[in-house]
Structure 1
Amino acid sequence: MTLIQQLLLGSLYLGICLAVEAALLVFCIHFLRKRTGYLQGARRVFQIGLVMFIAIGLIVFAHTMQVWIWATALIFSGAIGDWNTAIYFSLATYTTLGYGDIVLSEGMRIFAAFGAVTGLFAFGISTAFLVAVLREVFVLDQQGSDIS
């Protein structure tokens, strides 16, 4: 792949992954907002745990989908020949761990680096989202205990 092709395709997959991340977080917000009434009652600790479980579960699902998107891109571009290696490389790159035991050809390295950029953005967005969710949960819990 030429440099321009790597930049364009890398940007495209980055955009697709961040759209997936945003869509799942918006779904999570919508889902959790409909259930904030659950935080008022005798089983508040269980309910707070459930909210956290749902939020964390959707975040993990979003990251898993993005790793699969990058693995698929690596397979279809011909950069990697098998799914096991593609998923492994995608996961190591996405998390910016980068063991270095699998090295792509020069014509694919910049493209693959976009997988790391995707992971950086997605982990940052997910962390901010989780902090916001937990803040709201703690505020609702505090309001519930003030009422009791």
Structure 2
Amino acid sequence: MLINLLVGIPVMVLCLVMQALFVAFSLKPYVRYARGGSVHLSAWRVTLLLSVVMLVMLLGNFVQMGVWGALFLMLGEFDSFATALYHSGVNFATLGYGDIVMTEQWRLLGPLEAANGILMFGVSTAAMTAAVSDVIKHQFELDRSR
């Protein structure tokens, strides 16, 4: 059990750092364009900006699934990256199909990845909610000042 924690926790920390970078990367252009002045943004531009935030956050989650999948492959749990990535995605999204299981030695990495995944999807949701809330607030302030 201790070896699972010693292997899994550094990967979780790496994923946390990566998620922070993806949040910063996705919100930086959003802040620059959406909050850049007293310009009323069209519905299409708002949709585009929010879509970029959403896609970058989703990409961040996919990259993290790939990191976990690579770890599973390095540990010799799977023969192909595709299978390791599939298993990682099931864990990360907390689906828990159980059609593919890891050996008893590394089985506790699954719940660690699931805890990591649910947290990262929560961060992604929070970033998207903050962006939507900010758009609504900014547009309301612009409409009110006119």
Is TM (by shorter chain) over 0.5?
A: yes
Residue 39 of structure 1: how far off its partner (Å): 7.5
Q: Which runs of 5+ in 2 are unaligned?
A: none
Residue 17 of structure 1: how far off its partner (Å): 0.8
Taking only aligned residues, the RMSD between alpha carbons, in angstroms, comes to 1.5
Alignment match, 1:66: 64
Q: Which runs of 5+ in 1 are unaligned?
A: none
Alignment match, 1:55: 53
1:10/1:112 contact within 8 Å kept: no
1:39/1:141 contact within 8 Å kept: no
CA distance in 2, matches of 1:38, 1:83: 46
Alignment match, 2:133: 135
1:6/1:111 contact within 8 Å kept: yes
Aligned residues: 145
Please give the per-residue CA displacement for 1:73-113, whole angstroms capped at 9, x wherever unaligned: 00011111211211110001100001101011110111232
CA distance in 1, matches of 2:137, 2:62: 30
Structure 1 residues 18 and 39: CA distance shift in structure 2, 3 A: farther
Please give the per-residue CA displacement for 1:94-144, whole angstroms capped at 9, x wherever unaligned: 000011010111101112321111111101111111111111010111122
Trace 1:74-85 onto structure 2 (pairs within 5 A).
Answer: 74-85=72-83
Alignment match, 1:35: 33
Structure 1 residues 39 and 86: CA distance shift in structure 2, 3 A: farther
Alignment match, 1:46: 44
CA distance in 2, matches of 1:24, 1:84: 24
Identity over aligned pairs, percent: 24
Residue 63 of structure 1: how far off its partner (Å): 0.6
Q: Secondary structure at the match of 2:103?
A: coil
Alignment match, 1:126: 124
